[in-house]
Amino acid sequence: MEALTSLKVESTEGSAAIAETSAESVVEELKVKEWEVGMFQNEVAASQGIRIRRRPPTGPPLHYVGPFEFRLQNEGNTPRNILEEIVWNKDVEVSQLKERKPLISLKKDLENAPPTRDFIGALRAANERTGLPGLIAEVKKASPSRGVLRENFDPVEVAQAYERGGAACLSVLTDKKYFQGSFENLELIRKAGVKCPLLCKEFIIDAWQLYYARTKGADAVLLIAAVLPDLDIKYMIKICKILGLAALVEVHDEKEFDRVLGIEGIELIGINNRNLETFEVDIANTKKLLEGERGKIVRERNIIMVGESGLFTPNDIAYVQEAGVKAVLVGESIVKQNDPGKGITNLFGKDISLS
């Protein structure tokens, strides 16, 4: 009897071990597939001139049997620049968030999300009202290139000061690791009754993030052409339309601009004067990209152009306006002021508040 029992135990353990081994190999297989898909994504992106690799930072799975040069190339797994580092971290962050809150549950939350406000309309109206570019004022505590910009940072206080100072829209950084922002800030600002439409300033790599932004009170999202292949941008724009979100598509050079102009349904394009790979800032970038044929296309299609980054003085504003922008996105120069509302007056060289 005893012998039998122990035999039984043994065989149960045996099958458990077999089950475990096969579960492990399934997990391993999935990891390999996931990695291969990542490699393929990188190839597609590279064919569009995108230098940012979307490959997960973990590199090839331990038992990957693929071309030898892949394994060699991936040794070290160090990101080539800050944007790539941010995107790789975001990849991990988003997959963890998604596990906690799958899309089905996010979609349920949508029912309780506040209605979206017209981000593009607010920019146009401000431009017509003041004769100056409509201002998207950025609620930005810190950045990887400039460090902490404002000590004792109170996001709602900054947002309300911007609104009083005449901002048309606000941009709220939600990335924690590199910008010390948060989705909580976005939610707090929305719940505090700030009327300016809100841009969720995030590194979006997955459509799930669009739904998430919407549930947290965003009216608009940022799509970065240096990170997203054309097909992703097209797909995300469609989802934005369904969700009632405006999409600000950000470009930094001619190649990205031409790609984005090739996509239908784009209403808002930002030219970043800061190269996110090197941090170099040059406001002449806005002018350079809007010269000639590209500027003409933008005017014909009535696309609103946004001059982004490195704007500090009324002369800077006049310079990008002359280049053809109808809106500007400004962080550092105004968030650093004791009174950020006053910062807006200094930036434009005149009081643009409604009162």
Ligand X SMILES: O=P(O)(O)OC[C@@H](O)[C@@H](O)c1c[nH]c2ccccc12
Read out DSSP for 188-224?
A: HHHHTT--S-EEEE----STHHHHHHHHTT-SEEEEE
Instruction: Map the footprint of ligand X across residues 175-204, applying CB under 6 A.
Output: 201
Among 165, 197, 310, 324, interactor with ligand X by CB under 6 A: 310
Among 127, 209, 272, 286, interactor with ligand X by CB under 6 A: 272
Q: Which residue is nearest to ligand X (CB)?
A: 331
Any contact of residue 249 with ligand X (CB under 6 A)? no
Q: In 262-310, which residue ranges form alpha helices assigned H by DSSP? A: 284-290, 293-300
Q: Which is nearer to ligand X, 61 or 201 (CB)?
A: 201
Q: Which is nearer to ligand X, 171 or 215 (CB)?
A: 171
- Closest contact distance (angstroms) between CB of 130 and ligand X is 19
Any contact of residue 256 with ligand X (CB under 6 A)? no
Any contact of residue 163 with ligand X (CB under 6 A)? no
List beta partners, residue 173. Answer: 201
What the block records as the tokens of 167 is 């901002």
Among 45, 158, 220, 330, interactor with ligand X by CB under 6 A: 330
Residue type, 346: N
CA distance 135 to 116: 19
Distances (CA, A) of 169 to 45, 133, 136: 32, 12, 5
Any contact of residue 133 with ligand X (CB under 6 A)? no
The count of chain residues that interact with ligand X, using the rule CB under 6 A, is 14
- Closest contact distance (angstroms) between CB of 220 and ligand X is 13
CA distance 118 to 7: 71
Q: Which is nearer to ligand X, 54 or 60 (CB)?
A: 54
Backbone angles phi, psi at 188, to 5 degrees: -60, -45
Q: In the chain, which residue ranges form alpha helices assigned H by DSSP? A: 2-47, 68-73, 82-100, 103-110, 119-130, 155-165, 183-191, 208-215, 230-243, 254-261, 284-290, 293-300, 314-323, 332-335, 340-348
Any contact of residue 223 with ligand X (CB under 6 A)? no
Q: Which is nearer to ligand X, 150 or 259 (CB)?
A: 150
Any contact of residue 331 with ligand X (CB under 6 A)? yes
- Closest contact distance (angstroms) between CB of 332 and ligand X is 3
Q: Where along the sequence are the contacts to ligand X (CB under 6 A)? A: 138, 140, 201, 250, 272, 308-311, 329-333
